[in-house]
Structure 1
Amino acid sequence: MGVAGTGKTTVGRLLAEALEVPYAEADAFHPPANVAKMSAGTPLDDTDRAPWLDAIGAWAHGREGRGGVVSCSALKRAYRDRLRAAAPGIVFVHLTGDRALIGRRMAERADHFMPVALLDSQFATLEPLAPDERGVVIDVAPGPESVTEQALDGLVSLSCPHTVQPVGNC
Structure 2
Amino acid sequence: MSAHDHARAGAPLVVVMGVSGSGKTTVGALVAHGAGVPFLDADSLHPLANVRKMASGTPLEDADRRPWLDTVGERLREADRDGTGLVLACSALRRRYRDHIRRAAPGTAFLHLHGTPDVLASRLEGRSEHFMPAALLASQLGTLEPLGPDEPGYALDIDQPVEDMVAEAVVALQGRPATPSG
- Check whether TM > 0.5: yes
Query: How many residues of Structure 1 are paired with residues of Structure 2 in the alignment?
Result: 159
2:109 is aligned, of 91, 94, 99, to: 91
SS at match of 1:24: strand
Determine the structure 2 residue equivalent to 1:113: 131
CA distance in 2, matches of 1:107, 1:20: 32
CA distance in 2, matches of 1:13, 1:105: 18
2:68 is aligned, of 52, 62, 77, to: 52
Contact kept? 2:31, 2:170, Cα under 8 Å: yes
SS at match of 2:155: strand
2:166 is aligned, of 135, 141, 148, to: 148
Contact kept? 1:93, 1:136, Cα under 8 Å: yes
How much has 1:143 moved relative to structure 2? 2.4
Gaps of 5+ in 2: 1-16, 178-182
Determine the structure 1 residue equivalent to 2:42: 26
SS at match of 1:93: strand
Using the size of structure 1 for normalisation, the TM-score is 0.91
SS at match of 1:62: helix
CA distance in 2, matches of 1:33, 1:57: 20
Contact kept? 1:136, 1:155, Cα under 8 Å: no
The one-letter code sitting in structure 2 at the alignment partner of 1:143 is P
CA distance in 1, matches of 2:161, 2:96: 29
How much has 1:11 moved relative to structure 2? 0.3
The list of structure 1 runs, each at least 4 consecutive aligned residues, that deviate by more than 2 angstroms after superposition, is: none
Q: Aligned Cα RMSD in Å?
A: 1.0
Structure 2 residue 157 is the aligned partner of structure 1 residue 139: yes
**Which shows bigger deviation, 136-145 or 68-77?**
136-145
How much has 1:144 moved relative to structure 2? 1.6
CA distance in 2, matches of 1:122, 1:51: 19
Deviations 1:35-76 (A, max 9, x none): 000000000000000000000100000111431100000000
Determine the structure 2 residue equivalent to 1:35: 51
SS at match of 2:130: coil
Determine the structure 2 residue equivalent to 1:164: none
Structure 2 residue 26 is the aligned partner of structure 1 residue 10: yes
Gaps of 5+ in 1: 162-170
Using the size of structure 2 for normalisation, the TM-score is 0.85
Instruction: Report the identity percentage.
Output: 50
